[in-house]
């Protein structure tokens, strides 16, 4: 691992900050690899992978206004990329698509892969993929013939760029802090209807209302028609197709903090060294999102992020 850092400061501390660059190569990483079953052992645990990581962190603090009214900005920007250099545990092409987290050489450690999408059948509303370069509904054959060469690589599932911008305004004892966070350069797969679950009475998804129902609907929806019987291959070709993958880039209003401070130097009879009254609100919503689905990408993994509001008093003896 190599790390290089730089701290900087300008006159009167009007701008201060730091820059850190690093790279980290993982060599002979330990994991499980398939082994010849005729030996009586199916897997071997040993050195089977290597990775290459690069990144940098930039942070600075600026005093924009430093008079009776004060305005301070704290900015954080980070970049990180980890690429798989080698991995001995080879799997089928479809496993990279349906089993999240399978490492693929020359790609990011965590990434999304998909089946190529060929749209809905205009006559039946069935999902379609590609088999040997031709549009097909032979779902099992499509999955079995998928290789690392013909699967679709969409992108990493972790942000390459991320950070925050916090602006703090103060006037005498009153202070207002606003924090905006951003995550860029990554992708997510939209959750959707799973007809196998519906036909087994295990619940559905709101996309069911958008399903294909009659010829012509394929011009307005990508959700397949409801099949008569359970067909896992049919479900997978749609659920893991490229049509449901979108950029997860977003900017979020992370939190706002409003506070009022009093201390003993201002009020000599104050029974505490310092007392702070505050109002804090967290996760106030998205300011911008790149995906065309109009949804919060973080909800796909963690569920709806709760919005919290707290009112309190902090005492220092």
- Least Cα distance to 155 among 111, 188, 202, 218 occurs for 111
Residue 184: per-residue pLDDT: 97
* Per-residue DSSP letter, 127: B
What is the C-alpha to C-alpha distance for residues 130 and 186, in angstroms, rounded to an integer? 26
99-126: pLDDT as tens digits: 877 888 899 989 999 999 999 999 999 9
pTM given for the model: 0.86
> H or E element: which one contains 309?
strand 308-316
Provide φ and ψ at 293, rounded to 5°. -80, -20
pLDDT at 162 over 90: yes
Residue 99: per-residue pLDDT: 82
> H or E element: which one contains 195?
helix 195-199
Residue 28: per-residue pLDDT: 66
Q: How high does pLDDT run on average in the chain? A: 89
């Amino acid at each position: 691992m190599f790390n290089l850092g730089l701290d900087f400061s300008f006159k009167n501390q009007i701008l201060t900050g730091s820059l850190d660059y690093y790279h980290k190569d993982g060599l002979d990483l330990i994991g499980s690899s398939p082994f010849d079953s005729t030996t009586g052992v199916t897997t071997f645990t040993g050195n089977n992978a290597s990775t290459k990581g690069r990144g940098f962190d930039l942070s600075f603090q600026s005093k924009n206004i430093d008079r009776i009214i004060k305005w301070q900005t704290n900015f954080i920007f980070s970049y990180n990329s980890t690429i798989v250099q080698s991995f001995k545990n080879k799997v089928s092409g479809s496993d990279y698509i349906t089993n999240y987290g399978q490492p693929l050489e020359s790609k990011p450690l965590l990434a999304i892969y998909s089946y190529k999408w060929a749209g809905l059948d205009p006559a039946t509303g069935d999902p379609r993929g590609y088999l040997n370069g031709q549009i097909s509904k032979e779902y099992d054959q499509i999955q079995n013939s998928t290789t690392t060469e013909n699967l679709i690589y969409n992108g990493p599932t972790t942000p390459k760029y991320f950070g925050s911008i916090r602006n703090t305004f103060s006037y005498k004892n009153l202070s207002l802090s606003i924090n905006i966070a951003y995550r860029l350069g990554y992708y997510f797969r939209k959750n959707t209807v799973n007809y196998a679950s519906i036909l087994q009475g295990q619940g559905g998804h709101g996309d069911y209302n958008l399903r294909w129902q009659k010829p012509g609907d394929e011009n307005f929806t990508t959700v397949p028609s409801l099949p008569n019987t359970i067909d896992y291959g049919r479900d997978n070709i749609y659920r893991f197709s490229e049509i449901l993958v979108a950029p997860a880039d977003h900017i979020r209003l992370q939190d706002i903090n409003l506070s009022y401070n009093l201390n003993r130097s201002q009020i000599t009879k104050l029974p505490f060294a310092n007392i702070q009254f505050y109002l804090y609100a967290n996760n106030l919503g998205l300011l911008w999102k790149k995906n065309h689905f109009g949804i919060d990408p973080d909800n796909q993994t963690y569920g709806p992020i709760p919005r919290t509001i707290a009112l309190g008093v902090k005492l220092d003896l």
